[in-house]
Amino acid sequence: MSFAEEFVAGLRTRHIAPKWFYDAEGSRLFERICLLPEYYPTRTELALLDRHAPEFAARIGTGAEIVEFGAGASVKVRLLLDALESPRRFVPIDISGEYLAEAAATLRADYPGLAVEPLAGDFTRDLVLPPAAGRRIGFFPGSSIGNFEPEAAQALLARFRQWLDGGALLIGVDLFKEPAELHAAYNDAQGVTAAFNLNLLARANRELGADIDLGAWAHAAFYHPPLRRIEMHLVSRRRQVLQVGGERFEFDEGDSLHTENSYKYGVEGFRALARRAGFEPGPVWTDAARRFSLHWLEPANPA
């Protein structure tokens, strides 16, 4: 479904999928989030990738193809590419075609010997990947797997396993930690995460001809312990009516649009999820404080 279709459907159900955050402006805002002092996942994962790059390179081998799901600016993959021996091709996949094209152009300039073939599309749905140019290794950093309900996360991992055609997956997974630290990460003092959340409504104004008053909505994010997830919402500050796609939607003061979940895992819990998706979990790398983890997953029954 298109953004227009899913946005209107989301207004009906009061739940909009977080993949629609990532137009060009949303992607730029997320890159700013990654630099915030409160947002520990990016710097922790970058440190892990930098520290263990030789180990990853040894497992990946020579002449491999790297497929990055939800590539964004493709910053983290550079640590892999710099450590690899003669990588054959890089296939970044992202839903934001404009932002993806900019990032791919930069990578081509910085890695002139590497074939960079971006694929604009939604990896949560059926995609046609080009024939593999070497051993295909998946890369899914940033703990984006946490945006999916556990059953949907399992289904997504199973889809990755099929696309990787016998290759392995290196995936980032955020771990349980103190609720106060989680709260701060999604409620930064500069308000960048709030702007990122509100950009979903701004995108509807830009692309769908909506006339949504952004000042009538507030960003809300909190940790929900029983479900082990951060929830992000947009909360209506007053009674209002939205007219989008020829439909009329009423919101009372305090009503919310649920825009994102971010599930947190224990190491063993995620390994069990990976097994249910058809992977055989391998090594796990974590920082000293066990804030974040990187998992190496091999297909349980290679093609």
| pLDDT 10s digits, 45-66 | 999 999 999 999 999 999 999 9
Q: Is 12 exposed, middle or buried (0-12, 13-18, 19+ CB in 10 A)?
A: exposed
pTM of the model: 0.92
In tens, the pLDDT along 105-153 reads 999 999 999 999 999 999 998 888 989 888 999 999 999 999 999 999 9
Q: Is the pLDDT of residue 171 over 70?
A: yes
Residue 202, CB half-sphere, CA atoms under 13 Å: how many? 15
> Domains plus CATH for the chain?
3-33+179-263 (no CATH), 40-177+265-299 (3.40.50.150)
Query: Six-digit token pair at 241?
Result: 């009516």
